[in-house]
Every structure is written in structure tokens, then in C-alpha cells.
Structure 1
């Protein structure tokens, strides 16, 4: 997300349209931040023909040499895969075996139509990647995920410093290498002041001079003195402490978390304007159950207490008294967890939207003066907030109960100490990742308990990610230039001789084809009435899209203006982060009186992800994801539609999931369906709830209700993408070439391409966390779930009715 503005806006609040599953890489380097994100990549295998010998050969000899080289290469590759795997004692069913015994005969048979077989390096590499991933011993009609990803999983163990490893992670790593190379060029080569700031910020993070290590706890201790001290570090006067002042100082001046979250965002009911939003927040651990289910989370809570104690001791606290203080903080967070509403109970957008004045908010939750709070914030941008200013509250019941809880604590001296300790802890834990190694190492135990890995990756990876969060679009400009004008590694070879407009033109065509397929599918829906059908069709037509990157980042003047007020200094990493937080909050506050910018990006160009924004009715696909295996202009369209096409269909379908359907074509929240159609939609959707509730890993079930929106999008996206591909293939049959050594039809390749982008491995701890927190289903269920519901899949793979991948009862909404 661009700078920390969007982190402030989200702050783990509503679960609305989270873009991906939990990823430990998005945590601060040593801080207890639990955020969300995904990552990616593909395995690249190169084929380089000989040239000195080449000129002496005839055309026929050249063809035979090419075929034999490919044959030897693929047989060698397949032999290596088999050699490194366990010996198989059972006979392999040849009906599912890609590599037939007579591979040479297969290749020559494919050559019957010389124009249909692709033999260039890209096609050979793509075929080899597929062969290295599939497990042909698995019946695709029994478990298509294991069929497409079995060998990939076996030969791609989780790296030591990671909690998961996936195609997303690999692609993300490749993108980060591109960014790293750009950042490490001389600062004089940077095209803009914004890029120079990105370079400076990155170098301050890398800490070549060991300034961070030399300072130790000093930057944090100086901050604590400014905010009134902390009883744990020994400098705190309870007699002069005031709740209002502490809340305003920490949550406004330092943009930290507290009892609640607040931000400026589009008004759901009038998406052309911005409004102030208040929501529930305040927990450190990922879920409320981490606190409330003490039996299942005893080890996690103990590790959390150890982490808190270690940090307290590092800033001067006595270990015994620090641990006691921190126990009280955990108890307070547990009481917050008890009044926090579950994510799955907050999916009805119309129900949780509550518009009121600041004066009414004062009456609802008078534990602080909201009028004073907002005026203190907006004073920074010379804006007054009156008692009649409107705000949107997403969690009124939470704020009511929070008032009772805070007032009870605030009525005694000991309670006030707990409140201050809690609020200061929210700040301390957020900033430890910007301190010395001792602070970052203190987080390892908690990280291990949460994710199953202590971390410990090279610092440059974290520093690239952190720079992206602060100066992401400056970084994006550098990334785009490297991709389209520089030496950007093999995965972007198709882009090197093209302009960005040329490279993304095909992607734009795919979006339009998928939109048309989605609209055509609407005609077959029996649960939708004619009036709602027409409105839904109009909304699909009104969806706008943005691809690659915003144009302004290539204009140095406009890019410099974006970061003009952000000050970044060498060797001041901690202070750079504080200044970045403040700069982003100031930008956010200024938006209140501005018209909504419908073309503003929420993700930076290198990001391997995509998203849909309901208030803009817009889908966005950053440059980072628009590369193989998802998308490549030289890649078979079956794979493009199976990879990127399904992602496009997924985001488009979000406009019609259980939350997106509540917003009209203009992005405004209101009931634009009639009651009967809504009831039928909920009945159809309930099928998905039951289907995914029955999926489990290690005895923990998927929450079909919490994941409903993503499951609807997964199913609708697959269906729309496949139908779009079928239509494309009818009109472009001669353009689709066969890959060497693969005995699959183009339709089968579509599904293989879809399955393989989700190949992944995850630690037991991270899997548990995903199942408990994420709005997405685990990767394997994101593959098999939608395929089970798509009749065309079983037709293509000849799956008998009643087989695991072709159940009799199927679910469908879109």
C-alpha cells in the first residue's frame, strides 16, 4: 500500500476486501504487527542452442537437432524429478501420465501440424515448469490440487526463515531483486527527488554504518519522555496523567493504535465524498479467540508475555515488575477481545454502517471527548471540526462497551496505570522493529509461535518492503523503468522490447472478455429477477479497471510533489519512520474536504496482488502480478486465462459477492435489489458456506461464513475466465500453439495453469493462523472448491459423476 496512509486507514479494522492471506513477511522486522498480504513466482528453466555448429546444418537436420535436444532436456529433467522422489512401487496409471514412454513419438506426432508446436525458449521453459510441478501419479478427478502441485510441493520446501512458500512468494522475491538493484544504484542516477528519498530511506534501513545498533534503545526512550513516560521504564507520574492527553498524543501525533481505529475514507453511502470513520481495534494478537480460548492458546499467550517482558527489560524495566505490568496489559486486551465483534458477524455492510454527528458520538461513547480528539488531529491541517460534523461508526456496540470498560479502569490509580501501560505498549511494539538487533531478536519467539518460523532473512528484503510501504510509488517508478527499459531478469523478457502500453493491451482485452463472459453467465441464473439482472449487468459494465501503474509516477514533477513534504535523512531510520507516519496521516486528513480521486491507487506497482474497491466499483492489477506464471504476452492464452484471467474474474466477481452486491454501479451503499432476490441470493450463497465449512486441515475447519466473499469470488472468477477463454479460442484457434512434451489439450492447460499459481507449502502454525483469521480459504481449497462446482471441468477431464472432483451437488451464485 502507498506509504503508511493506507496502513493507518486499515489498522486491522474491517475485513472488507482484504487482498490476500496472512503473510508473515508483512510484519515489521521485530515488531508484533500482524497484517495481510501475498507474494509469488515461477521456476525458470533455460534452453540455449549451440550456434557455432548451427550454421553447418540443413533445415531438416536443424529440426531433428531441436527435437532431440528438447527430448534429452525434458527426459533428463523428468529423470531428475523421479530420481529425487521416493520410489513408487505401484504401477503408474498411464491415462494420467504426461510423459508417455515414447516421448519422441509424441513430439513428432505434435509436429504433424508444424505451426501448432511452439519450440522457442519460452515454450520449452513453460513446458518444463509444468512438468516439474504436476504429480501424474495423482488422479486429477480425485484431487486436482495434488495433481497440479504435488511435485512442486515436494521439491519446494519452506525456506528456513519463512513460514510459507508459494508461487506468489517466488514472484515477489524476483520483483524485490529488481527493486533492490534499482535502489542500490548511485543516488546521482535517480530520476527524481522522490526516488532519491527512497534510496536514502532504504540505506538508513540497511544501516551500513551500524548507527541503529549504536543507538540501541535511545530513540524509543526519547519518544517515551515526550509522551509522558512509562511506568515500566521508570519515568512516569500517575498524578499528572490524563487519559485524553495520552490518547491524543499517541494516536494522533504518532499515529499509533489504541482502543479504536479512526481514519478518513470514502463515505460508503456517498462515494463521491470523504468522511471520518471510527471502528473497533486494539488487539495485538491476530484474533479475539487468541485471548478468549486460553486452553488452545496457552503457549501463545505465554510467549506473548515473554516478548512483552523482554522489550520492557531492554528499555530499562525490572524483569519481575515488568512481567507483572504486562500481565495486566494482557488482561486488559482480553477484556477488549471479549467486546470485539467477530469478523464473520460484520459482513453486512448496510447493517454496520452508522452515520452520526460528533456530538452524537460523544453521547454514545463518552470515555473521551471526541470533539477535542478530532480537533486536535485536524488542527494539523488547519481544519476545524464542529460538534455537527458527520462521522461513520462501524462498531457502535463495541464503543458503548468500551466506554464502560475504560471508565471502570480510569476510576482507580491502578486502573489508570494499566490504561497508560496498554496505550504506550501499542506504540512501543509498533516501533521495536526500527531499533537495534536486540529488540528485533526479542520478537523471534512470538513470531515462531504465530507463524512457525523465527524469521532471520537478509535485511535487504525487509528494507525493500519497508521502503515500499513509505515511498512505494517512487519505488514503483524505478521498478517500471527497470522492467521496460533495463535488464530485468528472464521473467520480464517479453516486456523488454515493448512499451508498457503494448505489454498491457492484451491484459485489457482479457478484462473486457471476462466482463462479457460474466454478463453472459447472468442470463442463465434462475434465482435473479429481470429487473435485478439489468441492474447487475449495468454494474458490470460500469466497473473500471487500472492496469500496471499510475501514469503520474513517470512524471518526475508530479512524483516529487507527492512526497514533497516528506523529510528523509541519512542514518536516521527510527526518525524517518516517525516522520513518514506523520506525513501520511497529514495527507489522509487533507482528503476530508477534497473530492474523491477515483483513479488513486492503493497498491504500489511492484506488488504481487490485485484488488477491488466497492466505493469506486473498480478493479486494479499492479505490474508486479502481470508476469509469468500469471500472465505473459508470449505465453499460451490458456495459461494466461487460467492464471491472470481467473484473478481478473475473481476481482470482478467481488462486485457481486455478499458485500460487494450491496454497492450500486456508482459505488454507493444502498439496497438496489428487491427483497425476494436478496433472499434467493442468500440461499444460493449458503451452499458455499456449507461446502467450505466441511473443509479442514489438522482438525481445524474453514470458516465458511468468514470466507464467503472470497469463495464466491473464487468460484465466479473461475467460471467467467473459463467461458471467456472458450470464446477467445473459438475466434483464435490457429493462434494457440501446443507446448512440447505435454499431452494436454488447451482446455486442460487452462485448469493446470489455474491450479499451479496456487502451489504452496505452509507451516502448521501459519496454517492455523490462516484458518482462524484470514478471509480467504487455504490455497488447496481455493483450487478444488471452485473446480468441484464447475461442470465444464469434469467434462474436460472426464471425471465420473460422484468422483471427488465431480460431486453430484454443486454450488453456484454467479
Structure 2
């Protein structure tokens, strides 16, 4: 701590000299009124500062203010009367955020005049305070590459300032962005999420290609680099053409449509086992390992609906002239014809396969029916399963997939419903062997066609263009990064995170953790206030929130090279043999699943989400919110962004994860991750508490020109989004109340709350092809951006207050649902 007597020895410095030096460097200038700082100084102290303690106290309070949250380099000029006495203090904020003040020994005038910041290199976290004798105002000269200054260029160009936010917030927030950002030709959808994904993909590419060539074949870096390089080695793919695929087809007993098949010798049971266990293909159903709902520290085998070529069962019920149906049938025909079928046989095959899959679609439950964990999946033994579905060799498939696991007829599995598997068994029993073979071999071929030569990839890409509406296929390196992520997602994410300086990661995690805790506190306060909740449900949700944990990125222990090499020990890679590497990858993924049965670890519950999901997620089995570190990138996140922007973007995702932990269906898993019993009173209370908000919001969705199907499908997630918006907003209000009042340059007309709603609105800005909109309507539980924005803002009065909306604003004309806390 500096003694006041040492300050007087410092030499004078005129403010105009300081301003000159700073402005020549391009620093931004804004004034903050003295009343913000008035409580730091005693106005009764006469000129001349009769005591040293007043100035000493003022300086110490300045030093204790967390400037490092907002600026990396800032000059605070405190005008202090007519005398020329001033003090320059350089404050170095070390890696632990401790403040160590140092008094300059150089002549201040010389320091600024000769260097003008050009040759005097400030450390990234340095604050310079210049104090003069009487406070008149505080003048900020802040380095513009941090705080809100960095976000400003991203926000303003998106806005259509001619639009009225109180009438059309979507146009106000996104209008110019929608006009100036045509959809990229290789994407069917583009918004902040896709922009972040593209940036991460480019960073992964750079990471892979710049890895030093390792010599240790067993190291994950060697495997990672050579896997990617084998994908990029197009000459080898063009030489092999379809030989790798034909070799496996022959090993599986041939393919009926290719006239390489014997009705008498082909055994569907043997081949169904091989497809599931050796090639990672899932005809009829999918088998995976998930946390046991009754004991989440253990793994259990889960059987899920699968085996359809189109994105959803609903596609098989469209009108006969559906464009999607025509595209899929053409894909079926072109693929098998390229593999050697005649034109006539290929056309017959496409019709038969479409109708065969339609039979499966008829018995496949809708995805919405599988959301309730109490009713969607039932635990039965393998012996019971095979008694009900005798045509499905489940025991043999599981034994082949997980050979070292202890599997017998008493082993429990989770199944979607008795009816589904009984119907699948019936389809198998009543189908001709030729059709069964065609269907199973098509499932195999469809999974591996993208890894063949260019002529096969062209067939796949044409179908994808017609299905999603993209104009051009992604570049080869993009496909190779995505494929490498499929098998090396954990190692890539860990290496990417390790590439960020440890201090930076710690600071990022501190910011995210602060938001998380504030949002949790806001949610708990809302629960306390919600008089309509049953007391047991209220107590239960508070207990769950109190134990809710946060995981930002990977813990250092599992980022270590030793851990990564051990994790990928069973992943084999051959130089320049991409197709074989895909097969190795399939085997490796099944080995990692088997480890969840044999020796499950706590991180197994969330590692896959951390590596493969580009969003903040809630993991009910661990009662944990998971934030992948790759989300902590600009323009989406920077630890120095203003809180209003942080809470409106990443904070909204965190809030959504927090809220989803205590709303259906995640509320049905207790704080330890165990599924509640059906007779637990919390079950009915939680479902009853959500029933009216869902119905209310579904009606509002229909009024916003959506179908009843869309309304029913998206109502629950919309309730979660509205509640998340409320909690993020409430948390922001509490956070900024503890800080001095500031404005962001070029956005001075917007207060913190208005900036929060603007950043939230802009996080929803997106554009999609018609085909992608069709897919989202069929599959997504998330309401389309513009509709979600309007409905959510209508339910949060803070928005209308922030923008001073008049009483006749459309955002004030909707009835509020008070039960959305």
C-alpha cells in the first residue's frame, strides 16, 4: 500500500498533455459525471487537502474496483483543482487478479511525450491512474479492443435503426443483418451458432495441420494428424473407388439388388449382429449405453428407434408428389445403380425400400412421445425382450458389441415400448428375405457412401442439396474436420482448450461461473416468490438448484497428454487409408461405450456433450450445466464484454440450462440424477405446474401464424426460453446494480437493460433455406427465431420498460402468464 506522503513527490502533468498522447493513439474518450464517484470522496474537505487520509481512502477505493473486468488498459484522469499537483500510479493486475500499485519514477511529461504509448508497451492488464487535486469529473481514455468496444462493430451493423423496437424488435435488431447477409452457399442455415461452428472448425483445421509431426505412433496427436491426412488424401480414394464397400458386402453374403445374393444361405440374424457390432450401422433400432435412471453411476444398455432413411417418420406420410420423397427415391436408385444394379432393378429397389421403411415409420413412436422418462422407456431383461420380440437376436448383438461385458438373459435393457419392438419383430418375420437383405445392405451402404470416391460423393451431395437446400457442398477440408471430430471430438476439444493460456481460461471460467451463480440466485428467488407452486415441489426444486453444478471446459486432469493417449489407446489409424480408419473409428466408439458399462466414470455422463454439442447443456444424470469451452469465443463471448451483452448471449444459454433442470422433463430426475418413482408427489405436481403455461404459450404460438403441430411441439421449450429470459434479465439487473453506471460508445442511447434485450434478439438472428425450415418444423422443439422473440418479449415486461414502449405497443397487448416464473 502506498503512503500518502510519497505521492507528493510525483511531478506535475497537465491533462491536455495526457489527452494528446492518448488521442494520438486512437483511444476513445467519454465522460462520466462526478456523482458516480461522489461517495468515494468527502466533499467537505477544503482545497489543499488538509489531511492525507481522504486522498488515501479515495485511491484505495479506486484500486479495489474491479476495472480488469472492463479494460485491459485505461487512464483515469481525476481533475482535482487549480494546482498542478498530480500523481501517476501504475497498477499491475497479476495473474491472480491481485492489485500491486507502483509509483512511477520517471518524469510523467517525458513518459507520455516521448512514448505516446507507442514505445511504452503496456502489459495486457495494466491500469494507469492520474490524480489531480480536486474532483470535477472522471475522464475515461480506454483501449478500444476490449469491453463493449469490440462488440460494437458486431451489433450496430445488424440493426435497422429506422424500425421501431416496440413494434418489431426482430426488424430493429436483425433488419440490416438479414438484408446484407445472404445465406452462405454451403449452409442451409446461418446465424450466430453456425458462425461460431464455422470459426471453431477453422481453428481445428489450423490446430491439426500445424501439429508437429509426432514420431510416437501410440500418441493421440499421431493418430489425429494421420486420420485427418488420410481423409485429405483424395488420390487414394479415387484409386480404391468402391472396392472397400464391395468387399464388405461380399463378406456379409451379398446384396440382392446387385445380384450377389443367395436366398438359401443368407442369414439375417448373423448379418444383423455384424452390422450393429462391426460396422456401427443401426437397421430397425439403435443400441447404446446411457446412465441407468435408477442408479446413474452405472451404465445401462438402451434400445432406441432407428433405421429410417428420411429425417423423421412424418416424411413418409406426405402427399405422393412430395419433393423429398422424389429426391430420396432418386438417391436410392442412383446409389445402387452406381454400385452395379441395372436401371430397372434400381428403380424397383427404390420403390420397395421406400415402402419398406414406411412400414417401420408406421410403428415408430413420435419423438415427442419419448420425452417423458417415466413413460417412454421401460427396463426389462434381455430374456423378457427376446420372448416378446423373438425375431430380434438382441443377446447376440449386445454380446458382439460389448464382448467383455458380463451379458446374460438377466441383464436389463431400456426399451421404448413393448409395442414398438413387437411390431419390428413382426416386420422382420413377415418380410421376404430379399427385401430384408436389401434394407439391411442399404443401411450399411448409406452409412459409408460419403467415404468413397468422388462419383459416389456426388450422389450423396446431390441428395443433401435437395433435402436441405444448400447450393454447394462443403469443401473437402470441412468434411474432413467434421469426420475427424466424430472420432476424435474429445481430443480436439481438449487440445483446442489447452491452446488457450491457462490464465485466460481461468478468467473466462470466473466470468461464466459468476453468471451461473447469479442466474441460479435469480431462479431461486423466483421459486420463493411463486405462491402457486405446491410446497413440496417448491422445496424439491430449491434443493435441486442448490446442488446444481457447473462444468466449464474440461478439467485439467483429463486434458493431460497421458489421459488422452490412454483414452485413445484402442483407436488405431493407418496412414493414407481413410476407409479403414473409419472402420477403426467405429470399433473405437463401441469400445468407449463398453467402458461405460464396465467402469463408468463421472465424466462419462457429460464428456460426449462437451465434445459434440455446440450449446450450453444440462445433464440431468449429473445435475450439471456443461459449457463447452469453444463457446467462449468472440463475437459470442469475451470476458471483457459488458455484462448486458454477456447475459444476453451466453448468459441466456446458461439460464436456459438452469431453468430446464427444474421443468419437465428433467425435473423428474432428482439432484443425484435418479429418476423419481411414479408415486412421488413431485411428479404430478411438476407436470400440473407446467400444464397451464404450456397450453397458454401454445395458444400464443398459433396466434403468431404457426400450426397446431408446431405449437404443441415447441410450447414446452418456449416456456423454458421465456423463463430463462426472465432469470437472465433479473440476474443482470442485480449484477449491474453493484457497478457504476456506464454507457457503451456509439450505443449511449441504450441502457443496460435495453442492450441486454438487443443482444438477446441478435443472438436469434438467422436465415434458412425453405428445406431447412421444413426439417426444423418436423424435428425441432425450438420455435423459429422471429416468433420466439415476439412471444418471449411479450411475456417479459422488462423489455417494454427498457425501450419505453407506449401502451398501444404490440408487446404490451398480450396477456401475461404469471405461472412462468
With structure 2 as the length reference, what TM-score do the two structures score? 0.81
Match of 1:558 in 2: 563
Match of 2:580 in 1: 575
Whether 1:536 aligns to 2:560 is no
Match of 1:793 in 2: 799
SS at match of 2:767: strand
Q: Distance in 2 between matches of 1:249 and 1:676?
A: 46
The 1:315–1:69 alpha-carbon spacing in structure 2 relative to 1, beyond 3 Å, is same
- Paired residue for 2:693, among 670, 681, 684? 684
Match of 1:74 in 2: none
Name whichever of 636-645 and 552-561 sits farther off: 552-561
Query: Are the counterparts in 2 of residues 158 and 761 from structure 1 also a CA contact under 8 Å?
Result: yes
Q: Distance in 1 between matches of 2:583 and 2:370?
A: 32
Name whichever of 593-602 and 340-349 sits farther off: 593-602
SS at match of 1:707: helix
Query: Are the counterparts in 2 of residues 567 and 579 from structure 1 also a CA contact under 8 Å?
Result: yes
Match of 1:455 in 2: 472
Q: Distance in 1 between matches of 2:236 and 2:555?
A: 36
Map 1:462-611 onto structure 2 (within 5 A).
462-484=479-501, 498-598=503-603, 600-604=606-610, 608-611=614-617
Post-superposition offset of 1:363: 2.0
Whether 1:217 aligns to 2:242 is yes
Match of 1:265 in 2: 290
- Paired residue for 1:759, among 757, 760, 765? 765
Match of 1:180 in 2: 205
Name whichever of 557-566 and 458-467 sits farther off: 458-467
Post-superposition offset of 1:138: 1.5
Q: Distance in 1 between matches of 2:753 and 2:656?
A: 19
Name whichever of 686-695 and 763-772 sits farther off: 686-695
- Tell which structure's C-alpha radius of gyration is larger: 2
SS at match of 1:546: strand
Q: Distance in 2 between matches of 1:293 and 1:572?
A: 41
Match of 2:334 in 1: 310
| Alpha-carbon RMSD | 2.5
Name whichever of 664-673 and 420-429 sits farther off: 664-673
Post-superposition offset of 1:710: 2.3
The 1:185–1:767 alpha-carbon spacing in structure 2 relative to 1, beyond 3 Å, is same
Query: Are the counterparts in 2 of residues 119 and 739 from structure 1 also a CA contact under 8 Å?
Result: no
Query: Are the counterparts in 2 of residues 118 and 738 from structure 1 also a CA contact under 8 Å?
Result: no
Q: Distance in 2 between matches of 1:571 and 1:294?
A: 46
Q: Distance in 1 between matches of 2:310 and 2:703?
A: 27
Whether 1:140 aligns to 2:162 is no
Whether 1:201 aligns to 2:227 is yes
1:543-573 CA-to-partner distances (Å, cap 9, x unmatched) read 1111022423431111100001110111111
Post-superposition offset of 1:604: 4.5
Whether 1:711 aligns to 2:705 is no
SS at match of 1:274: strand
1:438-484 CA-to-partner distances (Å, cap 9, x unmatched) read 11110233212221114322111111111111111221233124333
Match of 1:421 in 2: 438
SS at match of 1:165: strand
Query: Are the counterparts in 1 of residues 166 and 805 from structure 2 also a CA contact under 8 Å?
Result: yes
Map 1:348-359 onto structure 2 (within 5 A).
348-359=372-383
Match of 1:334 in 2: 358
Query: Are the counterparts in 2 of residues 504 and 547 from structure 1 also a CA contact under 8 Å?
Result: yes
Match of 2:92 in 1: none
Query: Are the counterparts in 1 of residues 29 and 140 from structure 2 also a CA contact under 8 Å?
Result: no
The 1:248–1:141 alpha-carbon spacing in structure 2 relative to 1, beyond 3 Å, is same
The 1:261–1:315 alpha-carbon spacing in structure 2 relative to 1, beyond 3 Å, is same
Match of 2:53 in 1: none
Post-superposition offset of 1:780: 2.2
Match of 1:96 in 2: none
Q: Distance in 2 between matches of 1:205 and 1:474?
A: 18
Query: Are the counterparts in 1 of residues 298 and 596 from structure 2 also a CA contact under 8 Å?
Result: no
Whether 1:439 aligns to 2:438 is no
Name whichever of 515-524 and 544-553 sits farther off: 544-553
The 1:352–1:68 alpha-carbon spacing in structure 2 relative to 1, beyond 3 Å, is closer
Q: Distance in 2 between matches of 1:154 and 1:756?
A: 14
Long gaps (5+) in structure 1: 1-55, 72-111, 410-414, 486-497
Post-superposition offset of 1:247: 0.9
Post-superposition offset of 1:314: 1.8
Match of 1:83 in 2: none
Query: Are the counterparts in 2 of residues 630 and 639 from structure 1 also a CA contact under 8 Å?
Result: no
With structure 1 as the length reference, what TM-score do the two structures score? 0.81
Whether 1:781 aligns to 2:773 is no
SS at match of 2:193: helix
Q: Distance in 1 between matches of 2:159 and 2:410?
A: 62
Match of 1:88 in 2: none
Instruction: Compare relative contact order (CA 8 Å, sep 6+) and give the higher one, 1 or 2.
Output: 1
Map 1:640-679 onto structure 2 (within 5 A).
640-670=646-676, 671=680, 673=682, 675-676=684-685, 678-679=687-688
Q: Distance in 1 between matches of 2:732 and 2:209?
A: 42
Post-superposition offset of 1:62: 5.1
Query: Are the counterparts in 1 of residues 333 and 346 from structure 2 also a CA contact under 8 Å?
Result: yes
SS at match of 1:629: coil
Whether 1:320 aligns to 2:329 is no
Post-superposition offset of 1:752: 1.0
